[in-house]
């Protein structure tokens, strides 16, 4: 699949983490999402119904970032991938979750996880 919709830097405050302070205080999480799909129909019709409305999908992502707390950002990434694959046109998805304020004892710029999923793969 060579066609993609890419959303970078979707931000929301969430309460994910294994430590009590992370759950209590929350912190900013950032998501980058790449949707792999054919954009031919949308290009030909010039109709948003023939693609994934990226504004609406960004809101879905933000809702997951700020939604029900989990311990791991890996789980957050999986939830976003699942949401992407519920869109019938999406064939593949890559999700990166950044946790720039992770409780790490040494100086660092960012920590992130990236997962890639495809329709029909287990």
Give all domains of the chain, ordered by start, each with its CATH number: 4-118 (3.30.1130.10)
Over range 71-90, report the average pLDDT: 98
Q: pTM of the predicted model, to two decimals?
A: 0.95
* DSSP state letter for 77: H
| Predicted local confidence at residue 122, as pLDDT | 65
Question: What average pLDDT does the structure give for the chain?
Answer: 96
Active site residues: 99
Write out pLDDT tens, residues 10-58. Answer: 999 999 999 999 999 999 999 999 999 999 999 999 999 999 999 999 9
């Amino acid at each position: 699949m060579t066609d993609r919709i890419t959303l970078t830097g979707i931000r929301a405050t969430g309460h994910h983490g294994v430590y009590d302070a992370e759950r209590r205080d929350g912190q900013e999480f950032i998501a980058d999402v790449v949707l792999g799909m054919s954009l031919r129909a949308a290009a030909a019709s010039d109709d948003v119904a023939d693609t994934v409305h990226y504004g609406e999908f960004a809101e879905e992502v933000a809702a997951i970032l700020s939604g029900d707390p989990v311990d791991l950002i890996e789980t957050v990434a999986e939830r976003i991938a699942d949401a992407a694959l519920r869109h019938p046109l999406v064939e593949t998805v890559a999700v990166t979750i950044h946790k720039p304020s992770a409780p790490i004892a040494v100086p660092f710029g960012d920590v992130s996880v990236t997962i890639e999923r495809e329709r029909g793969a287990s």
